[in-house]
Chain A
């Protein structure tokens, strides 16, 4: 039971991080710019971790994650702005709607493999975007006005919840089943694992947290537009997971933090940012196709040869 030993350590660490930043915010040492960057960072961590469970753990190559982000964003925005219901309920319902969308997308498409799955998920994300684009109720192409309701507390709780659920899922029996699908789907199937079931479950969990991120994302800006949720957003999220390591939760988190900071500094040079992103993507894939961390976790770096090699 090595996990329970660490659990309280992580809980204290999370509380300390939260408290320190909350103090910095309330004493105004971190101004609006940095607060906004922190919230963006949290949203990106949530997105990276929620895609990590689909690509990194289950090995299903989905490149339509922005679609679920859009569902979470729009549904939660409708609930707070049009129906005037409280924000926490909107977050939950937004995430739930994204999970339902994940089920709808996942059940038919997850029978496909590799490249075909990638293209199909891309297609579904585009369809979701086009539906919002053509729905006048949510403002169509002009976008939808949203109240500013996000703050550091919501974003941080969201991150903690996402990481907690996904790391627990990964370490559970179901998570191991998902990992076996990643390693060899046919062998997993032969061992009696219901591959479709686990793929759909992982996909739905991933979409749920993408929707959660979407709810916080929508209420962090004053307006949401369908163009925000295009291919590029999906590729952005993909880059976090790929750079961090396909199969490493801490890698995804670190990559999300790192790239958020970089893109904040390159905000005035969007072309340069995308050139750097794409070069990083190509170079990492050519020289280290498993991503920077591989399937290792950050904590593994501190265990020097305790349990032999990783393989």
Chain B
């Protein structure tokens, strides 16, 4: 039963990683940029949720929606100011800019509110349900429900709407999409908006689950979500979900075996192994390099 318990914990944690990973994977799929600032959008979302619940006394769902909306705008602003000029720049320049934006967000937040952590308010009564001898807390159920609903919503947007079709077209071939009359800039902005909104939602549920947030909290989940995206095959949406869940479960199992201090190392070992043996990820296809 202990193992199933860990599995449940792992899936809760994994669904947070998966939500962040979706943003990475969408942005990478469309402009081939590792958006390092994505983890910090997650942090901003968490803080918006915190202020909404603790200071303005909104409920959980209004706070979640507010955080998603603010993060969506924030993501678009980052894209327009920092990344738009770099569409044709070298990969290194884009990556360094992303690192710069990430540091800027973190330290501007620290500058305005200090580096001390904040305690997240309790949004729902913490009850535990006993399912076949496994304790499942109500927070875990909430997290999982929110994550699954958002993922279904995302699948719907990507596959059934016009903007989703445009996104798929741009990620396939931006120049051809432009020739077909798709507004590439707007499509990229929409991708950033959707990805950032998901990160914002992940921030709020992270706060609810771990009850402690601070301005540098985005760094490690950000990198882990990236690992999750690579694990599933970067640029592939179902891959990000599976990668996130898998990473969450592996981390929980490593903790359960008594190596909780090595948890972060396990994630990086997975990353390096996958990069070496299957760089296109679990769901990826091998592509030939063009000269």
Which residues of A does B touch, CB under 8 Å? 55, 61, 63, 108-109, 111-112, 114-116, 118-120, 122-124, 126-127, 130-131, 133-134, 186, 231, 235, 238, 242, 246, 271-272, 274-275, 277-279, 281-282, 285-286, 289
User: Which one, A61, A120, A134, contacts B272 given CB within 8 A?
Assistant: A120
Chain A residues closer than 8 Å to B91, beta-carbon distance: 61, 114-115
Query: Which chain B residue shows the least CB distance to A235?
Result: B99
Residues from chain B with Cβ under 8 Å of A289 in the complex:
86, 89-90, 93
List residues of B whose CB falls within 8 A of some A CB. 34, 82, 85-86, 89-97, 99-104, 106-108, 110-111, 115, 219, 223, 226-227, 230, 261-262, 264-265, 268-269, 271-272, 275-276, 279, 289, 291
- Report yes or no: B261 in contact with A119, Cβ–Cβ below 8 A: no
Report A207 CB to chain B, min CB distance, Å.
17
State the main secondary structure of chain A at its contact with B.
helix
Contact (A286, B82) CB under 8 Å given A134-B262, A275-B111 = yes
Chain A residue, CB-CB nearest to B106: A274
**Which of B92, B106, B219, B226 has the most CB atoms of chain A within a 10 A radius of its CB?**
B92
Contact of A61 among B95, B107, B276 (CB under 8 A): B95
Report the bound CA distance from A142 to B226 in whole Å: 30
Q: How far is A188 from B92 in the complex, measured between Cα atoms in Å?
A: 19
Asked whether, in the complex, the Cβ of B261 is within 8 Å of the Cβ of A278, the reply is: no
Partner of B92, one of A111, A246, A286: A246
Expressed in whole angstroms, the minimum distance between the Cβ of A272 and any Cβ of chain B is 7
A-B contact count (CB 8 A): 112
* A to B CB contacts below 8 Å, 20 in the list: A55-B92, A109-B272, A111-B276, A112-B275, A114-B91, A118-B95, A123-B268, A124-B268, A126-B265, A130-B264, A134-B262, A186-B289, A275-B111, A277-B103, A278-B102, A278-B107, A281-B103, A286-B82, A286-B97, A289-B93
A134 to B260, CA, bound (A): 11
B275 touches A109 (CB 8 A): yes
Contact across chains for B111 and A61 when beta carbons are under 8 A apart: no
List of A residues within 8 angstroms of B261 by Cβ: 130, 133-134
Which residue of B has the minimal Cβ distance to A184? B291
Contact B272 A123 (CB under 8 A): yes
Contacts of A63 in B (CB 8 A): 99
Are A124 and B272 closer than 8 Å at their CB atoms? yes
**Given A119-B34, A120-B272, A127-B268, residue A281 in contact with residue B90 (CB < 8 A):** no
Contact A122 B223, CB 8 Å, known A109-B272, A246-B92, A285-B93: yes
Give 5 nearest A-B pairs by CB, closest first: A281-B100, A123-B268, A278-B103, A289-B93, A278-B104
- Measured CB to CB, the closest approach of chain A to B100, in angstroms, equals 3
**Which of chain A's residues have a CB closer than 8 A to the CB of B271?**
119-120, 123
Q: Which of A120, A130, A281 has a CB less than 8 Å from the CB of B262?
A: A130
* Min CB gap B65→A, angstroms: 30
Given contacts A124-B272, A278-B107, A279-B104, contact A112 B86 (CB under 8 A): no
Given contacts A109-B275, A120-B275, A281-B103, contact A275 B96 (CB under 8 A): no
> Which residues of the partner chain A approach B34 to less than 8 Å between Cβ atoms?
115, 118-119
Contacts of B279 in A (CB 8 A): 112, 116
Residues on A with C-beta less than 8 A from B92 are: 55, 61, 114, 246
B89, B226, B271, B276 pick with most chain A CB within 10 angstroms: B271
**Distance to closest chain B CB from A52 (angstroms):** 14
- Asked if residues A274 and B226 are in contact (CB atoms below 8 Å), the reply is no
By a CB distance below 8 angstroms, the chain A residues around B272 are 108-109, 120, 123-124
Contacts of A119 in B (CB 8 A): 34, 223, 226-227, 230, 271, 275
Q: How far is B110's CA from A80's CA once the two chains are assembled, in angstroms?
A: 38
A6 to chain B, nearest CB (A): 31
Q: How far is the CB of A228 from chain B (nearest CB, A)?
A: 15
Question: A186 near B291 (CB under 8 angstroms)?
Answer: yes
Which residues of A lie under 8 Å from residue B86 when comparing CB positions? 285-286, 289
CA distance in complex: A172, B89 (Å)? 30
For residue B291, which residues in chain A have a CB less than 8 angstroms away from its CB?
Answer: 186
| Chain B contacts for A111, CB-based, 8 A | 276
Shortest beta-carbon distance from B291 to chain A in Å: 5
Check A235/B103 contact, CB under 8 A, given A115-B34, A126-B268, A286-B82. Answer: yes
List of B residues within 8 angstroms of A274 by Cβ: 103, 106-107
Query: By the criterion CB–CB under 8 Å, are B265 and A127 in contact?
Result: yes
Residue of A nearest to B108 (CB): A275
A286–B97 Cα gap in the complex (Å)?
8
Q: Is the CB of B97 within 8 A of A285?
A: yes
User: Taking A112-B275, A112-B279, A281-B99 as contacts, is the C-beta distance between A126 and B264 under 8 angstroms?
Assistant: yes
How far does the Cβ of A85 sit from chain B's closest Cβ, in whole Å?
Answer: 30
The residues of B that contact A186 with a CB separation of less than 8 Å are: 289, 291
Give Cα A130–Cα B102 distance, bound, in whole angstroms: 23
Contact of A285 among B96, B226, B268 (CB under 8 A): B96
User: Other CB < 8 Å A-B pairs besides A123-B268, A275-B104, 7 of them?
Assistant: A63-B99, A127-B269, A235-B103, A279-B100, A282-B104, A285-B96, A289-B90
Cβ–Cβ < 8 Å partners of B275 in chain A: 109, 112, 116, 119-120
Closest residue of chain B to A133, judged by CB? B261
A35 and B110 CA atoms in complex are apart in Å by 31
* Docked complex Cα distance between A131 and B266 (Å): 11
How far does the Cβ of B222 sit from chain A's closest Cβ, in whole Å? 10
| Set of chain A residues within 8 Å of B230, measured between Cβ atoms | 116, 119
